Amino acid sequence: MNSKLNVESKSEELPVLVSREELAQQTAAFFARGIEGADNTRKAYQSDIAQLTVWLRHRGLPELPIDPATLAAYISDLAATRKWSTISRRLAAIRQWHRLNGHPNPASDEAVKTVMEGIKRSIGTEPEQSPAFDIEEYKACLARIPTTPTGLRDRALLLAGFAGGFRRSELVALNIESVQFTREGSILSYQGSKTNQYKKKEQKALFFSPDPDTCPVRALQDYMEVLGRNVGPLFVRIRKNEQITEDRLSDKQVARTTKAYLGEDYSAHSLRASFVTIAKLNGADDSQIMQQTKHRTRTMIDRYTRVQQVVKHNAAMKLGL
C-alpha cells in the first residue's frame, strides 16, 4: 500500500541581511572582545599601556610596534621599583596590545626572555599575601561600628564579604533582588567574576549566626530595611548627613571600608583570605571552602593558609624550651 507523505510548508522569517562591511566590523568587534579578556583585566591593561606610552614618549621612542631591545630596557627599568607580578602583567598587556593591532609579539624574543629570567632571579616571584585577621580581633572591630545607615551598610559589607568569601568586585556587583532569605540564612546570586568570564549564574550561602552582633544574615536584613527599595544595587554610596543614594559602591570603597575598621595593614582581599584561613584552621575541608570561594584549584587555598599553618601547626612548639 502506497502512502503519500504530506509536507506542510511553514513560513520562516528570513534573517536580516547585513552588508559585507557591517559584517566585517561586527566580526572585528567580536574578535577584539575575545582577546581583550575580562573587564577588570582590560582596565588594568589600558592603564599599563598608558604608563608605557608615557615612558616611550619621554625617551622619544615610537609607540607601536615596540622592538625587543626597547622592551628589554623597559622591563629592566620597571624591575628597579616594581614587583614581579606587576612586570608580568605589563608584559601581558604589551603582548595583547601588539596582538590587537596585528603586530608580532616582542616579548617572544629570546633576549627579552633572558632579561625576564634575570629579573626573576633577582627580585623573586613570590607575591605578597593579604594578611588574614584573627576572628576575635575581627569581632571586636565590628562591635565598634555605629548603627547609622552608613554603619549598617559597612557592617553588612564586612560580614557578607568575610562569610561569603567574596572578591570586592563581586560584592559591589550584588543587587537587592539577588538576595534571597531562607530559613537557614540567605542565598546571594551574582553573574560574572574573575574565574567566571561568561557570566554564568553563581550563588553563595550565608547562615544565621548565634550571635546577632556578628550575624551576616541579620546584618543584611538590617541594612536592606533602611534602603527602602526592592531592586537596584545592594551596596550604595551614602552621602553626608546619611543621605542614601542609588549609586553603586565602587570596589575601592570596599578597600577603604576594610582599612577604616580593621586597620591599614588589611586590604579588601583580607576578607576573602581570612575566610579561607579561618575556615581551614577550624576544620573545613578544601571542597567546602571552594564551594564558597569558587576557586577552581586548591593552589590558592594552600597559599592563603601557609603562613598561619607555619605558626599554628609547627613541631617547634613541642620542644619543651
SS3 at position 207 = strand
Phi, psi of 195 (to 5 degrees): -105, 10
Where in the sequence numbering do the catalytic residues fall? 167, 194, 269, 272, 295, 304
d(CA 191, CA 128): 28
Query: Rounded to the nearest 10 degrees, how much is the dihedral formed by the CA atoms of 6, 7, 11, 13?
Result: 170
Identity of the amino acid at 92: A
C-alpha cell at 215: 550575624
Burial 206-228 (b: 16+ CB within 10 A, else e): bebbeeeebbbbbbbebbbeebe
Per the CB < 8 A criterion, the answer to whether 38 and 195 are in contact is: no
